[in-house]
Amino acid sequence: MAEIYSSVNGRKIGKLIAVHDGVQAELDRRVFEIAVRAEEILVQHRADGNAEIDIEMADNNRYVILSDERGQKAALSIEYGREESIIVRKDKHGRKYLDVLPAMDGLYILATASNLPKKRKGKVKLD
């Protein structure tokens, strides 16, 4: 009968596989492919703005990120869309006025680029 070990030389099997050179090379290849596809999709929709696609590496993981840190910080709205909302703004004299932020459909850039299902984030209900 076969015996299955949960660790080898004190290292968990999952960690041992994750740090394998072949696995890391495949992660690098796939994250690059997803980032290139995401950038192509973003460029098709960019009329103006500062959103960009970034790649982050941490330990044994890779992340493709839609970043709008330089712009309106609207990456979540770009990806998933938003409902119409009324916001309070100030003019150059400090007077407050109401402005309507129109609804926007999500572009699902990251979901499309990584072949994931397009799901809109729902409202969180607090009990």
What is this structure's pTM?
Answer: 0.74
Which residues of the chain, if any, have pLDDT below 70?
47, 120-127
Q: What is the pLDDT of residue 120?
A: 65
Q: What is the pLDDT of residue 4?
A: 79
Q: What is the pLDDT of residue 123?
A: 56
- The full DSSP string for 8-35 is ETTEEHHHHHHT-HHHHHHHHHHHHHHH
Q: Which residues contact 123 (CB under 8 A, 6 or more apart)?
A: none
